[in-house]
Amino acid sequence: MDQKIVLSGLPLEALTEVLAPLPSFRSKQIFKWISRGARSFDGMTDLSEELRGDLAARFELRSTVVSSKLEDRDGTVKLQITLRDGAKIEAVLLVDGEDRKTACLSSQAGCPMGCVFCKTGTLGFLRNLTSAEIVEQYFHLLEIAPDLSHIVVMGMGEPLLNLDALRTAVAILTDENGLALSKRRITLSTSGIVEGIRELADRGPETRLALSLTTADDELRSRLMPINKTNSLDRLKEALVYYQKRYKKRITLEAVLLKGLNTRLEDARALKNFAQGLETIINLIPWNPVEDLSLEGEALQEPTEAEVERFALELERRGLAVTRRYRKGRGVAGACGQLGSTELFPPQR
């Protein structure tokens, strides 16, 4: 039996086509209900009972379910979400004070990038997520925190390898007929896909951009992040310049700090040289421990507070704007680099 069409992943224009010959005002009503997080057609009280029954017989509102929920003492909530094919992904609610609550969304099931300091990279890559599977992560988190204010696509996967679905998801989340979220409050984080950055500049979406740089030492970055072997720092810098000329937006350069590896004086010098000519802010992220992760047989270690502080001061002395990522969600393996505490597929019986 054919699966029903899932409506959560359709922008308003596509939804109108799917629902034809219903008039467009009906599509707007249904789109608004979906954006409010409706779980069934029964609750769409401005539709007739007959129409609700017809819609339920033909369509589904969502394709995913929350299969587990973990809460940390710092307010972080991590959801394990099961997809229609049985695959599992994770999404995280990050809480920063009373005013800022951020949805950290995944773009792929697993990740093909293989960064040595990231748990998700050890899972391998299963597939890209659909626009519905991306949007529904936000809806699941919205049920926990109705005052969600920001989105970061920094969960499982490399967003710029799934730009089509991501572009559709952003269109849905920012549509004025629905949630009307501001694109300025959405950030995409990439490990450094040069062609993806250029495509982002040419075709959007016009969100904020973060680059997981970690180090501007070409040789060290290739050891830590295999993507650097085919997307070198020189090419990456050119793509960022191209992007910034197009959008005139500050780019966040994220540096996951590893004890004794990328916090040296020469690392600060290289970071300064890479950032030259760009409008950037450097976001320092002390590595969050993940068991059994290593570089060439040597176990990775988190930096000391003093090491992080020295590196931050050295960058500031060189004129760079610096922020520090405070550790959130470590109690539920929901911090940066820790996602993937579940298998992509459940064990077969």
Nearest Cα to 288, choosing from 315, 257, 263, 311?
257
Q: Is 257 exposed, middle or buried (0-12, 13-18, 19+ CB in 10 A)?
A: buried
Q: Which of 111, 115, 118, 336 is catalytic?
A: 336
Residue 90 appears among annotated catalytic residues: yes
Tokens 């936000």 locate to: 138
**169: CB partners within 8 A, 6+ apart:** 9, 131, 134, 135
- Tokens standing for residue 91: 């999404």
In angstroms, the CA 106 to CA 129 distance is 8
Q: Is 301 exposed, middle or buried (0-12, 13-18, 19+ CB in 10 A)?
A: middle
Q: Which of 60, 90, 266, 309 is catalytic?
A: 90
Residue 42, φ and ψ in degrees, nearest 5 = -60, -30
Q: Which residues are catalytic?
A: 90, 336
